Amino acid sequence: MTAPPIGNNLRRLRFEHDGMSQADLARIVGVTRQTIVALETGRYAPSLELAMRLATVFGCTVDSLFHWTDADAARALYARKPGDRT
């Protein structure tokens, strides 16, 4: 079963931070501009470390920056069910 895609608020947050360019954000977090483009368009899910770097830049939490595009589908796939083993 395929995991639901992950969405993000990167583009909105860049614009809220004085119209920060993709290139500027990429330089700050140590990736290429193409990586930022791929993140913003949903073609790439970041590593935990990159997600934390991005959240730090914008002064927010990782879970406020990244989210499931279909939260109900994610819950159906990943929520513990009675009798599940840990």
Candidates 63, 56, 4, 69; CA nearest to 29 is 56
Give the number of C-alpha atoms closer than 13 A to the C-alpha of residue 2, restricted to the C-beta side: 4
Consecutive H or E run containing 66: strand 66-68
Render pLDDT for 21-79 as a digit per residue (tens, 0 to 9).
999 999 999 999 999 999 999 999 999 999 999 999 999 999 999 999 999 998 988 88
What is the three-class DSSP state of 18? Answer: coil
What is the pTM for the complete model shown? 0.84
**Per-domain residue ranges for the chain?**
6-78
Torsion of CA 73, 78, 81, 85, to 10 degrees: 160
**What dotted CATH number matches 6-78?**
1.10.260.40
Question: The tokens 């990244």 sit on which residue?
Answer: 66
